Amino acid sequence: MIRVKLQYEWQLQPGGGQSVEPILFRVLYAIHTAGSLAGAARTVRLSYRHVWGLMGKWERMFGRPLVKLNRGRGAELTEFGQKLLWAEQLVQARLAPELESVGMEIQRALSQVMETSATRLAICASHDLALAQLRDQLARSDGLKLDLRFVGSLDSLAALSKRQCGIAGFHIAEGMEPAATALFRRYLKPRQHQLIGLATRTQGLMLAKGNPKGIQDLSDLTRNKVRLINRQRDSGSRVEFDELLSGAGIDPASIEGYHTEEFTHLAVAATVAGGMADVGYGIRAAAAHYGLDFIPLLTERYYLACRKDCMEEPAQARFIELLRSPEMREILSAMPGYGTAITGKSYDVSDALPSRRGVPALAPPTIRDEDSPRASLSPPPRANAVKRS
């Protein structure tokens, strides 16, 4: 079996194109979290001397300090060190899905010639951390392989309707208005398609640690000098966010940064963590990944759509079996803001996406995350305190 993994590198120009060692970013992150050089050295399993030498080398190369030593208080990154670390995190969050997608295309082409035992399943899906982890776990086995491509929810469903993939992943908030669900229903036919539940997820506002701007609800996004980082058009998160703003009577034009977009939850979180935005809309797990504060706004269901006439095919049958396995529940239970109430269950399109007012939506699942709100797109009451991830 061949596994294609595409990577990028940082180069300093001018100066002969000196490549920045990847270990530098690992050490910077370790210093940021451990608060000392000694603690960072233990985290990355290098000697203190090696870490000290690495910092000295790259401070000379960049021509400015990366770390500030505080007598009796350990160490912390300088402003430049913080920005450098943020830049790497943003590159990772933004490029990783694209590199994985291209790598999968190359791998699939090679596998058609070289592999005979592995079963492959093409999935187009809205960005999701659990699906990515399942893909990575399966990549280490000799059975089912997932050719997973992250695009927006609506683009995923469009790909399924054109038979460009076998599974389409999308998410939709509980209580969404029929006019909004119509965006999803136009790609799904009740007689032809079936929905399988992946998980429930908590979506909300991701804020810089400590919430320095004092943001407590959606109305605060319109304040002066509050900068938003948004998700791209046709993503499920963008549809939800626009519905929330509409329900709260907020004009998107009044929000600074509304038209500034990123394509994954992690990229939004990295932008907030790096100080380039004050707030973003995304899942709790992405906020926790970067140590951000989080205000929950709604609970959503993440579905996997497939064609009914293909559900018995080996790849899809095996995938559905995996969704219902204890291993999948272990992946989900380890992720903040994820719930397993719908995991592996089958749903009719007309039940999951009601087409008119007065048609009851599916009963809200039991959410284990104690901070998750009840399923609703009504704006939440103003919080007394910001909840932390």
Q: Cβ(160)–Cβ(152) under 8 Å?
A: no
Choose among 302, 248, 252: nearest CA to 132: 302
Burial of 50 (0-12, 13-18, 19+ CB in 10 A): middle
DSSP count for the chain of H helices, then E strands: 13, 14
Distances (CA, A) of 237 to 104, 260, 290, 301, 352: 25, 14, 19, 12, 17
d(CA 150, CA 152) in angstroms, rounded, equals 7
The dotted CATH code for 117-352 is 3.40.190.290
Distance CA 275, CA 85 (A): 12
Digit-by-digit pLDDT tens for the chain (389 residues) are 566 777 888 888 765 568 888 899 999 988 988 899 999 999 999 999 999 999 999 999 899 999 998 877 689 999 999 889 888 888 888 787 777 777 767 766 776 666 555 688 999 999 999 999 999 888 877 688 898 999 999 999 999 999 999 999 999 998 887 878 899 999 999 999 999 999 999 999 999 989 999 999 999 999 999 999 999 998 999 999 999 999 999 999 999 999 999 989 999 999 998 888 999 999 999 999 989 999 999 999 999 999 999 999 999 999 999 999 999 999 999 999 999 999 999 999 999 998 765 444 444 443 344 344 433 343 333 333 333 33
What is d(CA 111, CA 144) in angstroms, rounded to the nearest whole number? Answer: 13
3-state secondary structure of 156: helix
Provide the residue type at 103 as one letter.
G
CB 359 within 8 A of CB 336: no
Question: pLDDT tens across 65-124, in order?
Answer: 999 988 776 899 999 998 898 888 888 887 877 777 777 677 667 766 665 556 889 999
Question: 114-147: string of b/e by CB count within 10 Å (b at 16+)?
Answer: ebeeebbbbbbbbbbbbbbebbeebeeeeebbbb
